[in-house]
């Protein structure tokens, strides 16, 4: 027989998928049967609502505007120099107020450091800084 004969048995490149599908389907059934269907039971919890927490924080928060030559606290009608700030806040120091300091970006860092030193003398250590 000639290697160039027209009679050749052509082999198919397809894989027999029927047996693979059977194996995959059996594995799927095995996984579904072997896993446990557990439903979790959660106890309902009703927490009490706070009626004083937010109001106390808002009352205890002071907006402080740091400028080049003065310090302003509009809620207390205080406009003073940095050196006199501690004396102006003596009556509020016992309640440990939260100071929100607002300062322009071009303000020197030493001015802010002096302000934190004055507020530390008042007893407050909680500062929120935001630049304009």
CA distances from 27 to 16, 94, 114 (A): 18, 71, 72
Q: What pLDDT, on the 0 to 100 scale, is given for residue 28? A: 93
pLDDT in tens, 26-74: 999 988 888 877 777 778 888 887 666 555 556 778 888 888 888 998 8
Q: Is the pLDDT of residue 2 over 70?
A: no
The CATH architecture one would assign to domain 58-131 is 2-Layer Sandwich (3.30)
Domains of the chain: which residue ranges? 58-131
């Amino acid at each position: 027989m000639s290697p160039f004969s027209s009679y050749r048995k052509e082999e198919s490149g397809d894989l027999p998928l029927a047996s693979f599908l059977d194996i995959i389907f059996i594995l799927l059934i095995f996984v579904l049967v072997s896993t446990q269907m557990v439903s979790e039971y959660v106890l309902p919890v009703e927490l009490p609502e706070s009626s004083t927490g937010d109001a106390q924080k808002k009352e205890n928060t002071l907006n402080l505007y740091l400028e080049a030559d003065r310090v302003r606290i509009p809620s207390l009608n205080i406009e003073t120099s940095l050196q006199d700030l501690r004396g102006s806040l003596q009556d509020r120091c016992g309640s440990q107020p939260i100071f929100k300091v607002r300062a322009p970006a071009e303000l020197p860092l030493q001015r802010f450091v002096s302000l934190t030193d004055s507020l530390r003398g008042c007893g407050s250590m909680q500062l929120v800084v935001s630049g304009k």
